[in-house]
């Protein structure tokens, strides 16, 4: 009987861990090493796929074919050309019994809700794999990630306060990032992880994550700015995290603009303002996008936003949305 797996969800760490487990389990069952084939999910065409799905291994009794992130699930309803040919190849494969072959396909975007809802009806590939493969979801909630973090800390001989664990959970980073961060602390023999130790790391994480929002604001791209804002909230950042960083970016823009008007180069601006050279370089691309009158208006809007956040019961998300639209008008 064929063994087929469809592994989906946002956590690549768990998906890859499951793939390793499946390979080990399948090889133990077979009593030998399997022929392992990895295909590029973006480049694999119908003929190449058909070849690997149909030929018998010359080196081993069993074969494991892994395809990560194929385009089939991303482009719903494609029934023509290359996608139609690939669909026909897969349909023929699933119609046959392939006892010595295992097919593992992954997707990092779908959720169980997607599969239950319209996505399943619209995508023939998705229907095919849900009906013919063992579908396993890897979209852990914060409770599951917390348990994993605690176990990971223990395995690496580390300790962390509840507040530090909360900071890690709310960082919005994936499990690969968190695992590598803990490895870094273990190698540095930083055994007891505290919020103070994490402070610089978390600040860098937030700055990287909020860059898309501030960059969209600097380019007055309303659609991109709103999308970035919603994503930041989904990832666990609070309004008190976001607003100061927006203020920092526009303050940096004003400082660089003033430096340029005083005929200062980037080196002098960095010395005078203590800004990171990367920040200065980015701001230099945007100084002409805003007049001083517009900048003062934005600082006025930021002040009003901060006051409204602290003194009114108005929906904070709506207040930020209004601010974004005012900046991008």
* pLDDT per position as a tens digit, 143-193: 999 999 999 999 999 999 888 898 788 776 789 989 999 999 999 999 999
Whether 110 has a pLDDT exceeding 70, the answer reads yes
> What mean pLDDT do residues 118-131 have?
79
Identify the pLDDT of residue 83.
Answer: 83
Distance CA 62, CA 32 (A): 8
Whether 121 has a pLDDT exceeding 70, the answer reads no
> What mean pLDDT do residues 76-81 have?
51
Distance CA 316, CA 319 (A): 5
Residue with tokens 């010595």: 100
Provide, rounded to the nearest whole percent, the portion of the chain with pLDDT above 70.
91
Smallest Cα–Cα separation from 76: which of 31, 40, 126, 17? 126
**Cα→Cα distances 308→106, 177, 248, 313, Å:** 45, 36, 19, 8
- Specify whether the CB–CB gap between 6 and 134 falls below 8 A: yes
Whether 235 has a pLDDT exceeding 70, the answer reads no
Burial of 118 from C-beta contacts in 10 A (0-12 / 13-18 / 19+): exposed
**What would the two tokens of residue 46 be?**
């119908």
User: Can you spell out the DSSP letters for 300-314?
Assistant: HHHHHHHHHHHH--S
Distance CA 167, CA 195 (A): 7
What integer best gives the mean pLDDT of the chain?
86
Whether 241 has a pLDDT exceeding 80, the answer reads no
Identify the pLDDT of residue 77.
Answer: 45
C-alpha R_g of the chain: 25
Identify the pLDDT of residue 205.
Answer: 62
User: Can you spell out the DSSP letters for 275-305?
Assistant: --HHHHHHHHTTGGG--HHHHHHHHHHHHHH
Distance CA 328, CA 217 (A): 6
Q: What is this structure's pTM? A: 0.62
């Amino acid at each position: 009987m064929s063994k087929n797996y469809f592994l989906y969800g946002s956590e690549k760490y768990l998906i890859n861990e499951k793939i390793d487990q499946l390979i080990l389990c399948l090889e133990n069952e077979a009593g030998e090493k399997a022929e392992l084939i990895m295909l590029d999910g973006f480049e694999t065409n119908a003929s190449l796929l058909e070849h690997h799905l149909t030929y018998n291994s010359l080196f081993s009794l069993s074969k494991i074919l892994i395809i990560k992130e194929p385009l089939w699930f991303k482009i719903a309803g494609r029934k023509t050309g290359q996608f139609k040919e690939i669909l026909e190849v897969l349909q023929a494969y699933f119609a046959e019994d392939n006892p010595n072959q295992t097919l593992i396909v992954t997707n990092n975007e779908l959720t169980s809700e997607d599969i239950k809802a319209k996505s399943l009806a619209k995508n023939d590939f998705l229907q095919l794999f849900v009906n013919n493969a063992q579908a396993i979801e890897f979209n852990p909630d914060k409770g599951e990630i917390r348990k994993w973090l605690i176990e990971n800390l223990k395995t690496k001989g580390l300790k962390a306060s509840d507040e530090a664990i909360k900071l890690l959970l709310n960082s919005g980073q994936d499990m690969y990032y968190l695992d590598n961060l803990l490895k870094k602390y273990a190698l540095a023999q930083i055994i007891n992880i505290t919020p103070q130790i994490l402070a610089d790391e978390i600040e860098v994480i937030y700055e990287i994550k909020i860059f898309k929002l501030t960059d969209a604001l600097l380019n007055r791209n309303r659609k991109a700015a709103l999308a970035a804002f919603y994503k930041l909230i989904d990832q666990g950042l609070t309004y008190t995290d976001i607003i100061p960083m927006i203020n920092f970016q526009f303050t940096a823009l004003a400082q660089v603009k003033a430096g340029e008007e005083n005929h200062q180069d980037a080196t002098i601006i960095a010395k005078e303002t203590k800004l990171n050279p990367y920040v200065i370089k980015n701001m230099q691309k945007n100084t002409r996008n805003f007049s001083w009158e517009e900048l003062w208006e934005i600082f006025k809007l930021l002040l009003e936003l901060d006051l409204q956040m602290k003194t009114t019961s108005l929906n904070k998300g709506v207040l930020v949305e209004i601010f974004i639209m005012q900046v991008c008008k």
